[in-house]
Amino acid sequence: MLDSFIHQYVPPRGDSRDTLLLLHGTGGDERDLLELGAELGQGAGLLSPRGKVLENGMPRFFRRLAMGVFDVEDLKYRTHELAQFVKTAAKHYAFDAGRVTALGYSNGANIAASLLLLHPDVLAGAVLLRPMVPLIPDRLPDLENVPVFLAAGKRDPIVRPEQTAKLAELLREAGADVDLEWSAGGHELTPGELTLAKRWWTRTPVEEVRS
C-alpha cells in the first residue's frame, strides 16, 4: 500500500512528534508544499503524496465532473485509499499515527476535509487552504475538539465564499474547533494568511484526540 502513492517523507527534527500530511492542489505534486510544510510545522515530519488522478495531465486527488462538481463516488474511493496510505506510512516510517495534521491547498484541502468527514481517526487536525464542501456524509463524525484552520478568499473565482462557510459550519456541527479566516483576495494564498496559519499552529498544540 505504501508504494501506491508516489510520495516524499521528511523525518521530524528535534523532539517533534507531529507529522504534516501535505496535500497539493490541481497540477501540483509531492514537492509543492514541502517548503510551506517545513515553515509551518517547525520541525514536524512531512508526508507528501502525489495525487493519482490525472486531469489533462495534471495530478489531482480525485475526479471532478466540472468546475466545482465532484465525482462523489471517486472521492469516497480515493479518500479511503488515502486513509489506508497514511496508516501504512505511519507503521513504515514509525511516526505517531495519532498526531497527523493535514495541510491541504484547493483540491488537497478538499480531500483533507473528506478525510475528516469519512475517516476521523486519521487526522488530529487540519489546515485547509481554499477548501469547499467535498461531500455530505450520511452521518456526521465525532470531531469533538479537533482543531481545524480554514483560509478563504472573498473574491475567489473557483471556490465560492459560501462553500467555505458551509464547510466550516459542517465541521462545527461535528464538534470541531474551527478557525475560519478570510482574505480580500482570490484563489491564491497571501502572506498574511500563512502568518495566521503559523500562529494557529503555534498556539494550538496538536493532541491525540483519539485514544
pLDDT in tens, 93-125: 999 999 999 999 999 999 999 999 999 999 999
* Letter string b/e over residues 85-106, b meaning 16 or more CB atoms within 10 A of that residue's CB: bbbebbeeeebbbbbbbbbbbb
Asked if the model's pLDDT at residue 211 lies above 50, the reply is: no
d(CA 46, CA 11): 7
Is pLDDT above 50 for 185?
Answer: yes
Domains, the chain, with CATH or none: 2-203 (3.40.50.1820)
Of the candidates 171, 184, 166, 182, the one whose C-alpha atom is nearest the C-alpha of residue 142 is 171
pLDDT mean across residues, the chain? 93
In 3D, which of 65, 34, 36, 29 has the Cα closest to residue 47?
Answer: 34
For residue 168, the model assigns a pLDDT of 98
pLDDT number for residue 190: 87
Judge whether residue 203 has pLDDT over 90: no
pLDDT at 193 over 60: yes
Q: What is the pLDDT of residues 2-19, one digit of tens each?
A: 888 999 999 999 899 999
* Banded model confidence at residue 207, pLDDT cuts 50, 70, 90: very low
User: What average pLDDT does the segment 116-145 reach?
Assistant: 96
Active site residues: 106, 156, 187
Given a cut of 60, is residue 206 above it in pLDDT? no
